[in-house]
A and B are shown apart, each in its own frame.
Chain A
């Protein structure tokens, strides 16, 4: 591992060296705990660990919200009230493009963070912009899908199944939209303020958020679109 571009403080370098995977202790050794990891013997964790940890817990709670909407879909997927069934809704081509756009955006987001790690502002901004554009593409495809469905009369008011479908997919879309606004704010902050400590922390959180949305999308893709649309 090269040290060029790592956080300037010796303390941070020491921690990365001793604990490359952020385990809180030396890998594969019971050894003594690392300072700043938040384990009982050494006192409070560093701000970076606190922020990441807290955000993970937020993400878990967010995933609980998604799981409720998944559960509602599972309960209501046959409650079509004489209306369309899932297989009438799915358009595999658009679904493939959507998935490709979102997964690729996650990859770009990761590249953006790699650039952040070496404190390269230009490439961070470039990758974040591509992330945002791919997210936008995903959203536009989703809006197109919803408009198409509405034009065919398949609105959430039509049946319990459509309610659950629009609710779950729409909730994910709402998250992507909010993530997009967040991303724009982060790009502005990186541009104006550079890689200050708290801004890097926020970028870490944004990365976690964006990847989590991908994971949720995999669930939606499989459980909402693929399985119920099997002939």
Chain B
């Protein structure tokens, strides 16, 4: 009846996960009670859960990502402290538990932390920057988000019921085959990643179509903000490579569930085929994450230097160059496979060449600041911290791209330090820079600056104190994923690293404090103009927060930096453009199909993990039935009456006129 599921799945003998589970379950129950008592359900259901508004979905993506970042950070704290505590000692984590923790850390940070954040930014910003009212397929957007959330749910369920994989964040066979890992950990991994991967693919298709086919009049390719270019490149990579992950995981699933022989080490299976396939996705994946991060930095450098981005066209070219070359470097993850001198040489050279594209970008950002009036606001601090951190990370990457050097550092702590150097320094810094930068746009009030600066400095210093010792440890010969350590000379470096984690914790606390203080002072910090940073792209042309239809009248773009042009004209003529003729707007109706489908997909994944076949079949049928019922719907859109459109837009115009008057009073006009 319940497949492999019985009471032994609850980790009663392991206090750590058990207590965590209890606390989490209590928090969730408390939240549910709070929502019920406060009668927030109708609001949540109508405004968020069933929303197909790209902005709401973007916010939910970011929320999911931040929650998962915290979960992944908790794993990181355990890993660092375990290694520091386990020098010629047992430490406090059993090997089985430790292995689950580093697997969960990698999986969660990349797939359920960084990915939702990056997708959230793209969702929120791309339609606004392109001057349109939504993405190409709003309902599918909701489906994509909820499938990602469904995958995240499955990973976290594995904490309470059963176990997670102990194989590392990419489950290499033959270790991940049933013969060597018979438990449910790898199955949880497979279904969670498979389900969220489908969600990501849907979002990728959606954003590619939006960017290529849905831009406001006049928004030709070379007028798009660089963030849109990087989102396009990133989503092209999603469309081209997430199917490879889907295929590789499907093959591993077949091996595990029905004893096929794709990756077994018997009967003609080929484990290295998995490693090749999974890295053919895995390497582009890091560029899927970091390209939008580059886009975020481009927007920030240009805004806070008060200048157009230096070398816009070379930035676009470098983005597309990276997009293509990122698919030609995957073998550098396993030079030690022994593919031979010629193959290793090719991939060594291609891996080094990709640094050229990134170098172009770094110089462009530096030249953007050159001669500009640089404002050191919080987003700019993160961006400057990024340049410093990312260059070091990139240079150690070039070292690793040289096959003979890689043979010495393969799977060492040097590698661990390198990829944290680029992913934390590149993606996580970008996420925080972006959150600080666009927060006023999204929620209508600014964030407290002093706490933001404290958060940056703690995070920046903490990062370096944590990871610089890992480079040294790698060169001293320490390999990654060690559950305990019997070389006392490594001790001091591991202790320094733990101290760095302590500083990072201060950074997290400051970040939370910033949010709390800003929400408390939200009336004082309110952004009335909709353009708090003196922005240059079209999202700043809307009020903060933007109305659900984004633009009352679709903007007509007449040059690069669409909003800057509009603003300059208003300042020169001392008035806004004449009031347009308002027309009613067609907007998509809300739909519960995404939530419905994802709910049953979660049940399906859970049932497959525990081999509850009847439940899996039932859930799959219901998930598909949701789509058919949705397809039967007669009405897909509703009309926003012209009075409503006019009312919202006139309020915006009033705020802009007031801002313009303030500017001329201050004598800031030419």
Provide the A15-27 mask, 1 if CB < 8 A to any CB of B, else 0. 0000000000000
Interface pair A81/B267, CB less than 8 Å apart? yes
In this assembly, does B132 line the interface, its C-beta being within 8 Å of a C-beta of chain A?
A: yes
Chain A interface: which of B6-14, B239-247, B421-429?
Answer: B239-247
Q: Which residues of B contact A160 (CB under 8 A)?
A: 261-262, 264, 267-270
Interface pair B209/A68, CB less than 8 Å apart? no
Q: Which residues of B contact A45 (CB under 8 A)?
A: 213-214
Q: Which residues of A contact B208 (CB under 8 A)?
A: 57
Of the listed residues B137, B246, B247, B636, the one surrounded by the most CB atoms of chain A closer than 10 A to its CB is: B247
In this assembly, does A221 line the interface, its C-beta being within 8 Å of a C-beta of chain B?
A: no
Interface pair A65/B243, CB less than 8 Å apart? yes
Interface pair A167/B631, CB less than 8 Å apart? no
- Min CB distance B243 to A, Å, is 4
Nearest B residue (CB) for A62: B243
Q: How far is the CA of A164 from the CA of B270 in the complex (A)?
A: 11
- Min CB distance B382 to A, Å, is 32
Interface pair B269/A60, CB less than 8 Å apart? no
- Min CB distance B519 to A, Å, is 36
Interface pair B269/A163, CB less than 8 Å apart? yes
Provide the B221-263 mask, 1 if CB < 8 A to any CB of A, else 0. 1010000000000000001111110111001001000111110
In this assembly, does B408 line the interface, its C-beta being within 8 Å of a C-beta of chain A?
A: no
Q: How far is the CA of A160 from the CA of B265 in the complex (A)?
A: 10
Q: Which of B214, B221, B223, B264 contacts A50 (CB 8 A)?
A: B214
Provide the B261-280 mask, 1 if CB < 8 A to any CB of A, else 0. 11010111110010001000
- Min CB distance B208 to A, Å, is 6
Query: Contacts A64-B240, A68-B277, A161-B268: A40 and B219 contacting too (C-beta < 8 A)?
Result: yes
Interface pair B239/A159, CB less than 8 Å apart? no
**CB-CB contacts below 8 Å: B145-162 with A:** none
In this assembly, does B216 line the interface, its C-beta being within 8 Å of a C-beta of chain A?
A: yes
In this assembly, does A53 line the interface, its C-beta being within 8 Å of a C-beta of chain B?
A: yes
In this assembly, does B212 line the interface, its C-beta being within 8 Å of a C-beta of chain A?
A: yes
- Min CB distance A35 to B, Å, is 9
Nearest B residue (CB) for A47: B136
Provide the A66-99 mask, 1 if CB < 8 A to any CB of B, else 0. 0011011001100111000000000000000000
Interface pair B267/A54, CB less than 8 Å apart? no
Interface pair B239/A61, CB less than 8 Å apart? yes
Query: Contacts A65-B247, A160-B270: A41 and B218 contacting too (C-beta < 8 A)?
Result: yes
Interface pair A79/B268, CB less than 8 Å apart? yes
Binding site secondary structure of chain A = helix
Q: Which residues of B contact A219 (CB under 8 A)?
A: none
In this assembly, does B94 line the interface, its C-beta being within 8 Å of a C-beta of chain A?
A: no
In this assembly, does A157 line the interface, its C-beta being within 8 Å of a C-beta of chain B?
A: yes
In this assembly, does B217 line the interface, its C-beta being within 8 Å of a C-beta of chain A?
A: yes
Interface pair A80/B268, CB less than 8 Å apart? yes
Interface pair A76/B268, CB less than 8 Å apart? yes
Q: Which residues of B contact A167 (CB under 8 A)?
A: 251, 254, 260, 262
Q: Which of A57, A156, A193 contacts B239 (CB 8 A)?
A: A57
Query: Contacts A156-B258, A160-B267: A41 and B220 contacting too (C-beta < 8 A)?
Result: yes
In this assembly, does B215 line the interface, its C-beta being within 8 Å of a C-beta of chain A?
A: yes
- Min CB distance B551 to A, Å, is 12
Interface pair B209/A50, CB less than 8 Å apart? yes
Interface pair A44/B216, CB less than 8 Å apart? yes
Query: Contacts A44-B132, A61-B201, A61-B242: A202 and B631 contacting too (C-beta < 8 A)?
Result: yes
- Min CB distance B140 to A, Å, is 8
Interface pair B261/A61, CB less than 8 Å apart? no
- Min CB distance B643 to A, Å, is 24
Interface pair B631/A61, CB less than 8 Å apart? no
In this assembly, does A158 line the interface, its C-beta being within 8 Å of a C-beta of chain B?
A: yes
Q: Which residues of B contact A107 (CB under 8 A)?
A: none
Q: How far is the CA of A40 from the CA of B219 in the complex (A)?
A: 5
Of the listed residues B220, B244, B262, the one surrounded by the most CB atoms of chain A closer than 10 A to its CB is: B262
Q: How far is the CA of A107 from the CA of B277 in the complex (A)?
A: 35
Interface pair A44/B243, CB less than 8 Å apart? no
Interface pair B267/A158, CB less than 8 Å apart? yes
In this assembly, does A111 line the interface, its C-beta being within 8 Å of a C-beta of chain B?
A: no
Q: How far is the CA of A207 from the CA of B632 in the complex (A)?
A: 20
Provide the B430-456 mask, 1 if CB < 8 A to any CB of A, else 0. 000000000000000000000000000
Query: Contacts A68-B247, A167-B251: A38 and B212 contacting too (C-beta < 8 A)?
Result: yes
Interface pair A43/B217, CB less than 8 Å apart? yes
**CB-CB contacts below 8 Å: B167-212 with A:** 201, 204-206, 208-209, 212
Query: Contacts A53-B209, A157-B259: A61 and B243 contacting too (C-beta < 8 A)?
Result: yes
Nearest A residue (CB) for B627: A185
Q: Which of A43, A162, A164 contacts B215 (CB 8 A)?
A: A43
Interface pair B214/A38, CB less than 8 Å apart? yes
In this assembly, does A42 line the interface, its C-beta being within 8 Å of a C-beta of chain B?
A: yes
In this assembly, does B29 line the interface, its C-beta being within 8 Å of a C-beta of chain A?
A: no
In this assembly, does B512 line the interface, its C-beta being within 8 Å of a C-beta of chain A?
A: no
- Min CB distance A13 to B, Å, is 22
Query: Contacts A72-B273, A161-B268: A57 and B205 contacting too (C-beta < 8 A)?
Result: yes
In this assembly, does A148 line the interface, its C-beta being within 8 Å of a C-beta of chain B?
A: no
Q: How far is the CA of A164 from the CA of B250 in the complex (A)?
A: 12
Q: Which residues of A contact B269 (CB under 8 A)?
A: 76, 79, 160, 163
Provide the A175-209 mask, 1 if CB < 8 A to any CB of B, else 0. 00000000001000100010000100010000000
Query: Contacts A76-B270, A157-B259, A163-B260: A64 and B244 contacting too (C-beta < 8 A)?
Result: yes
Query: Contacts A60-B239, A65-B247: A72 and B262 contacting too (C-beta < 8 A)?
Result: yes
Query: Contacts A81-B267, A163-B269: A40 and B221 contacting too (C-beta < 8 A)?
Result: yes
In this assembly, does B44 line the interface, its C-beta being within 8 Å of a C-beta of chain A?
A: no
In this assembly, does A216 line the interface, its C-beta being within 8 Å of a C-beta of chain B?
A: no
In this assembly, does B628 line the interface, its C-beta being within 8 Å of a C-beta of chain A?
A: yes
Nearest B residue (CB) for A55: B205
Q: How far is the CA of A185 from the CA of B201 in the complex (A)?
A: 24
Q: How far is the CA of A157 from the CA of B213 in the complex (A)?
A: 46
Q: Which residues of A contact B242 (CB under 8 A)?
A: 61
Q: Which residues of A contact B554 (CB under 8 A)?
A: 43
Nearest B residue (CB) for A40: B220
State the 3 A-B residue pairs at the shortest beta-carbon distance, nearest first.
A160-B268, A79-B268, A40-B220
7 residue pairs bridging A and B, Cβ less than 8 Å apart: A40-B223, A43-B216, A44-B213, A53-B213, A64-B240, A68-B277, A157-B261
Q: A49-B213, A68-B277, A193-B634 are in contact. List 9 more A-B contacts (CB 8 A).
A: A44-B132, A50-B136, A53-B213, A64-B243, A68-B248, A72-B262, A76-B268, A81-B268, A159-B268
